[in-house]
Amino acid sequence: MSELLLAPWTWLRESFAWPWWLLALPLPGLVRRLAPPARAGGAALRVPYGETLAALARGGGHRGAGGGVSPWLWLAWLLLCVAAARPQQLGEAVRPPHAGRDLMLALDLSGSMREPDMELGGQAVDRLTAAKAVLADFLDRRRGDRVGLIVFGRRAYALTPLTHDLASVRQQLDDSVIGLAGQETAIGDAIALAVKRLRRQPAEQRVLVLLTDGVNTAGLLEPLKAAELARADGVRIHTVAFGGEGSLSLFGLRVPLPGAGDEIDEAALQAVARATGGRFFRARDTAQLAGIYAEIDRIEPVARAGQAVRPRVERYAWPLAGALACAALALLWPRRRRA
């Protein structure tokens, strides 16, 4: 019952931009009925044939002593109120083009990311801190892209799905700490998880950017086997080998760090990128890493249809033209009758 009562109002809201203007339709009638009648004054001029003129006025003309307003004026007022309410019509549904990308980011959180062989703002920082800074800037430049975040150590975890809510992705990135997913490095499992998350996307939009500073030491899948799965599902992988030369800046001098600098399996990362049609990058400091993500940023965006919308077409011109025509007829019709 309530739906039936609301149906007319729903139709009005869909058909008119300002439906409240229709409330002005009875306004002239109310004024005519409620306004006090004009007081008859004395004759301004007495003529001997005054009764004859009064009889002519009662019998002819478009308005007599008891006559009403011309129907053309009433119709003009109705059309004017309809035009003021701005009648609209929903056009055909269109899907405007939308340029963007779907990017899945995979970040290494293994123990080796703790190595303090990076510099950021003139200070020595660990690899994860430097990577977070570059990735945060990379996210800030996204416009129309959907980004997801995977972290991996001994295991791989999807922290955020593909989403336009990049603030949530950045928050999850900021909250990530070394060892969150374990101390080892499961590169193959991270690739497999990304392939699973990207499988539902169109083929040209399946892109993974994987950053690591180590070799595959854990997980169920070897990186090359995972790369074969990615290639079968049309996932393009860009691999980033991140790590310094195994030295730390101390009082302006580079101090070697034992065991660091030779832990990255560049050959395996190159093979993964080559097998999936992606690119391999090597970053030895923060500046190089920023340049790599700037290069990834220049990957050709994918044009896809946006959300379907139905534009509103204005139709107020028709009733407005009708109102002007009726007003003109109301002025010309009495003259034609008298002629």
pLDDT band at residue 105, thresholds of 50, 70 and 90? Answer: very high
Average pLDDT, integer, range 278-303: 81
In a domain, 284, yes or no: yes
Q: How far apart are CA 248 and CA 273, in angstroms?
A: 30
Across residues 89-116, what is the average pLDDT? 77
Asked if residue 316 belongs to a domain, the reply is no
Give the residue, 148 or 328, on which the prediction is more confident. 148
Structural domain for 158, as ranges: 101-301
Q: Of all residues in the chain, what percent carry a pLDDT higher than 70?
A: 73
Residues 197, 156: Cα–Cα separation, whole Å: 12
Residue 184, domain member (yes or no) = yes
Q: What is the mean pLDDT of the chain?
A: 78
- Report the predicted TM-score, pTM, of the whole model to 2 decimal places: 0.59
Residue 6 banded pLDDT, cuts 50, 70, 90? low
The answer to whether position 203 is within a domain reads: yes
Residue 162 lies in a domain: yes
Q: How many distinct structural domains can be found in the chain?
A: 1
Q: 109 in a domain, yes or no?
A: yes
Q: What is the mean pLDDT of residues 64-84?
A: 75
| Per-residue pLDDT reduced to its tens digit, 136-179 | 888 887 777 789 999 999 999 999 999 988 899 999 999 999 98
Where b means 16+ CB within 10 Å and e means fewer, 260-275 reads bbeebbeebbbbbbeb
Whichever domain contains 128, its CATH number is 3.40.50.410
- Asked if residue 210 has pLDDT above 50, the reply is yes
pLDDT score, position 195: 93
Map tokens 């008891």 to a residue.
66
- Say if 38 falls within a structural domain: no
- From the list 106, 104, 103, the residue with the least C-alpha distance to 223 is 106
Asked if the structure places residue 54 within a domain, the reply is: no
